[in-house]
Structure 1
Amino acid sequence: MKLVSWNVNGIRACVKKGFLNYFHEVDADIFCIQESKLQEGQITLELDGYHQYWNYAERKGYSGTAVFTKQKPLSISYGLGDKEDEAEGRIITLEFEEFYFVTVYTPNSKRDLARLGYRLQWEDEVRNYMVLLEKTKPVILCGDLNVAHNEIDLKNPKSNKGNSGFTDEERGKMTLLLQSGFVDSFRYVYPEKDDCFTWWSYMSKVRERNIGWRIDYFIVSDKIANKINDAQIHSEVLGSDHCPILLEIDLS
């Protein structure tokens, strides 16, 4: 099974930059996006063979997630039951026979860390939700988690220590999630591979010089980690300040 996650930073803009070419070329079984940045009716994607599920933020041009899947899920749910989370369209859960699939767009703590407290509360709620789902069947969580977990996961760890996305608090929450029975699929396959990033700022020549952060993840239950075949970062794919990531896993 081939799974893809991509923070498109505005699906309408990304479509104009080749999104559909990549979508059809990669031919994923499940393809999810974060930061769709639109409301219902503002785009029509002709994705033959896929069921589409969208979670729109109430605020225009902000946040939002979507999942496109070849197999129809047993059930779909949106948000974590908290009104603010659902208002921002940050999470979708699909239940399949063998597993739960959850796509997430984690809140950014903001440059001045003004939203760090809310972010940390969100992390606890997502972790508790994952643990609850995992009691029933394995879970695959993916998306823009807005944190570089370890120093290997960003180009300049020393100068970014304490900055949004690389605070001790945010990194600690990722550690807690993994200690709760989950695996970072990319590090499971490539524990020491460096210079592998999924996001680059729009500053001049930053992406060309690969000065980036790895903040997009596939996190899977420990019990299915041995079924991972590969975890890829498609950094050559443009169209957003993030690039797509791919997980190949055999759950048959």
Structure 2
Amino acid sequence: MKIITANVNGIRSAHNKGFFEWLSTEDADIICLQEIKADIDSIPKELINYNNYICEFYPAQKKGYSGVAILARTKPDNIITGLANQEIDDEGRYLEFQYGQLSVISLYMPSGSSGEDKQQKKFRFMDYYLPILKKQHLDRDYIITGDWNIAHNEIDLKNWKGNLKNSGFLPEERAWMTELLKSGYTDSWRHLYPDAPGYTWWSNRGQAYTKDVGWRIDYQIITDRLKDKLKSAQIYKDQKFSDHAPLIMEYDL
């Protein structure tokens, strides 16, 4: 099973930059998108039933903001939208496809980089979601893909010393990720490649992309039972569709 996750920073923008032409060459089983920034009426019609995938879009209430999507070759047994939390769900941050005992999720955690109020919203999301994470894996297997907006360890961002007090690398955020990974989950990229930085996001300032001054904030977090099913992982940088790069993983499922 091949799963691609990508924060597209606007589905229309990524479409115009050739993202979906590239996807058509990848033959992925499941594609998870974040930050689609479009309601259903604004999504290009050719993407609503893209390449015969089952396409589910979960936009934010606010136009041009947030939102997630999943495109899948196989129809899921069940689709879950949202986390039963109005603040989170109004922003379209969680979409789940269920296949038997496996769930595949497109997740877009809030960023706290634009102000203290945004950081507090991010903390509320984390406080609400962690107890759910700790319980849900007892009964099902999960592949939680998406933009978590947290670089876990020093290896996960180039300029870690300069970001110790910045959102995305705060001690509280990193401790939260550590607690998550101790509670029955595996960071699939780091499991396969313990020494490869694996950056997936670059600032638009200071030639960060060209100089590879990046952050690894896009993940496929999986239940521990699935880690032996991991086959390969890749970050696609040959073309730039967004300020994030697609993360491609293959599983023996």
User: Which of 65, 68, 72 lines up with 2:71 in the alignment?
Assistant: 68
Give the match for residue 218 of structure 2: 216
- Paired positions, count: 250
Give the match for residue 197 of structure 1: 199
Question: Is 1:130 aligned to residue 133 of structure 2?
Answer: yes
Q: Say which SS state the counterpart of residue 162 (structure 1) adopts.
A: coil
User: Which of 80, 85, 88 lines up with 1:82 in the alignment?
Assistant: 85
- TM-score, with length taken from structure 2: 0.95
For 2:236 and 2:19, the matched residues in 1 are separated by 13
Counterpart of 2:125 in structure 1: which amino acid? W
Give the match for residue 29 of structure 1: 29
Structure 1 window deviating more from structure 2 (219-228 vs 232-241): it is: 232-241
For 1:49 and 1:133, the matched residues in 2 are separated by 31
- TM-score, with length taken from structure 1: 0.95
CA-CA distance at 1:35 after TM superposition: 0.3
Question: Is 1:169 aligned to residue 172 of structure 2?
Answer: yes
Question: Is 1:52 aligned to residue 55 of structure 2?
Answer: yes
Contact 2:93 2:109 (8 Å CA) reproduced = yes
Counterpart of 2:224 in structure 1: which amino acid? D
Give the match for residue 105 of structure 2: 102
Query: Hey, which of these two has a bigger chunk of helix by percent?
Result: 2
For 2:175 and 2:221, the matched residues in 1 are separated by 16
CA-CA distance at 1:205 after TM superposition: 1.9
For 1:60 and 1:114, the matched residues in 2 are separated by 20
Contact 2:32 2:105 (8 Å CA) reproduced = no
For 1:231 and 1:117, the matched residues in 2 are separated by 33
Contact 1:111 1:163 (8 Å CA) reproduced = no
For 1:129 and 1:24, the matched residues in 2 are separated by 34
Counterpart of 1:132 in structure 2: which amino acid? K
CA-CA distance at 1:23 after TM superposition: 1.0
Q: Give per-residue Cα distances to partners, 1:152-205, cap 9 Å, x unaligned.
A: 0001000111101110011111111101100000000001113x2100011142
Contact 1:130 1:139 (8 Å CA) reproduced = no
Give the match for residue 2 of structure 1: 2
What is the Cα-based RMSD across aligned positions, in Å?
Answer: 1.2
Give the match for residue 227 of structure 1: 229
Contact 2:113 2:166 (8 Å CA) reproduced = no
Q: Give per-residue Cα distances to partners, 1:39-74, cap 9 Å, x unaligned.
A: 111122141221011111011100000000011111
CA-CA distance at 1:120 after TM superposition: 2.1
CA-CA distance at 1:134 after TM superposition: 1.4
User: Which of 245, 248, 251 lines up with 1:249 in the alignment?
Assistant: 251
Counterpart of 1:233 in structure 2: which amino acid? I
User: Which of 149, 152, 164 lines up with 2:155 in the alignment?
Assistant: 152
Structure 1 window deviating more from structure 2 (169-178 vs 111-120): it is: 111-120
Contact 2:2 2:30 (8 Å CA) reproduced = yes
What percentage of aligned pairs have identical amino acids? 39
Contact 2:187 2:219 (8 Å CA) reproduced = yes
Structure 1 window deviating more from structure 2 (182-191 vs 39-48): it is: 39-48
CA-CA distance at 1:232 after TM superposition: 1.5
Segments of 5+ residues of structure 1 without an aligned counterpart are: none
Q: Give per-residue Cα distances to partners, 1:126-148, cap 9 Å, x unaligned.
A: 22223333122211101000011
